[in-house]
Amino acid sequence: MNEHIPPDFQVPGFLAAGIAAGIKKTQVKDFALLFSEDPATAAGVFTANRVKAAPVLLSRERLKSGKARAILANSGCANACTGKKGIADGQTLSRRVASSLKIAPGEVLLASTGVIGKPLPLEIMEGCLPALVSSLSPQGLADAAQAIMTTDTKPKAVISRDRVNGEEVTVAGIAKGAGMISPRMATLLVFVLTDADISAGALRKALNEGVQGSFNRITVDGDMSTNDTLLVLANGRAKNRRILPGTPGFKKFSALLSGVLLSLARKTVADGEGVTKVVRIVVEGARTGTDAEKVVRAVANSPLVKTAFFGEDANWGRILCAVGYSGAPVDPDKVDIFFDQVQVARKGQAVGTETEEPATAVMKKGEYTVRIRLNQGKKMAYLFTTDFSFDYVKINASYRS
């Protein structure tokens, strides 16, 4: 068993599989299927990029019903910028898998990740569908987690359980997203399965809340992909009293789901391309929420700040510089900056050379917090970001070769 997969990684009533279909040139798993034995409630969140891959367009349309039973996903090819053929290919695959599973094609959700601009290898995929369907098993979620990986170095899998409305409910999720991880949904595939009985409206609401505090709070390179997809299926097997919006049960389920999403998001950012540091940027004391957001995104996406993180150089001047060009009307002479507990700047100026050594010690850690106090109001914002390393360049310069 893979060390990155939690023990007993399965959700009652769900089967899954992941196989090596040959979509990628290498002999690794690249084709995944998740299936609910019962009809299930479904919700999703997709990329805000105007260039949307075919599977995104199809899944978004199908989710309008609030129902789905299967997720068919592949790595190795994004099926993005492929026009009408891309849509037709997605429909063909949906019909084929639906027929095998004895469900409607509209109950199949699709997700793809990989190179943009190339058509799916449809014959290969159709040929492997029977093998994929026959591999379905309650334990197959671990294989699915591996099949959606691209430049990820490890599969991301999280499971959590809690009593909700009288019964134990399980929430399990898998994610991939080493490259192009950015705010407002990254190139990210995230699939969450739960046996909770929940209304479609409540599921959508819980998902949106959970995404705000997790995947929308991470950034690796500021790019936003054409294929970002987060899907949740809830099959009701737990037989809890149905979860409805605005009830105590909803709060509990929402916290459970948010916890799984946050945990997946942190694993995803820590496995970002070439990442050696995960840094939480916290902006406090902004006049408005928009100001806080502008500042935190400018700092978290600055290549100069990120290379300084990699170099373990407490160069707070670059941080203040990014605050200054963020577009927020900030008075730099009021700004304090901390590396964990070590204050390096007070009112926009150096605290003194004696903090250099303790600040550098903080930066040698794999995870730490940079706190920026604007001292101009009461709003805050945070983001998880990473360093920019030699390996980031290496991985991205040679991705397609």
Contacting residue, 20, 28, 104, 115, with its own copies by CB under 8 A: 115
Least CB distance from residue 363 to its own copies, whole Å? Answer: 11
Contacting residue, 322, 370, 374, 381, with its own copies by CB under 8 A: 322
The residues annotated with a catalytic role in the active site are: 187
Is residue 81 at the binding interface for its own copies, with CB under 8 A as the rule? yes
Nearer to its own copies, 126 or 356 (CB): 356
Residues 222-251 that bind its own copies (CB under 8 A): 222-226
Is residue 311 at the binding interface for its own copies, with CB under 8 A as the rule? yes
Is residue 49 at the binding interface for its own copies, with CB under 8 A as the rule? yes
Is residue 219 at the binding interface for its own copies, with CB under 8 A as the rule? no
Is residue 51 at the binding interface for its own copies, with CB under 8 A as the rule? yes
**Residues belonging to the chain:** 401
Is residue 151 at the binding interface for its own copies, with CB under 8 A as the rule? no
Is residue 41 at the binding interface for its own copies, with CB under 8 A as the rule? no
Is residue 221 at the binding interface for its own copies, with CB under 8 A as the rule? yes
Stretch that binds its own copies, among 18-26, 152-160, 192-200, 382-390 (CB under 8 A): 382-390
Contacting residue, 254, 263, 302, 386, with its own copies by CB under 8 A: 302
Least CB distance from residue 336 to its own copies, whole Å? Answer: 12
Contacting residue, 87, 88, 104, 116, with its own copies by CB under 8 A: 116
Least CB distance from residue 247 to its own copies, whole Å? Answer: 37
Buried b (16+ CB within 10 A) or exposed e, 113-144: bbebebebbbeebbebbeebbebbeeebbbbb
Is residue 186 at the binding interface for its own copies, with CB under 8 A as the rule? no
Is residue 83 at the binding interface for its own copies, with CB under 8 A as the rule? yes
Least CB distance from residue 346 to its own copies, whole Å? Answer: 10
Distance CA 251, CA 116 (A): 39
Least CB distance from residue 39 to its own copies, whole Å? Answer: 34
Stretch that binds its own copies, among 4-12, 50-58, 207-215, 251-259 (CB under 8 A): 50-58
Is residue 88 at the binding interface for its own copies, with CB under 8 A as the rule? no
> Which residues here bind its own copies, judged by CB under 8 A?
48-52, 78, 80-83, 115-118, 179-180, 221-226, 302-304, 307-308, 310-311, 313, 315-318, 320-325, 329-333, 345, 347-350, 388-390, 392-394, 396-401
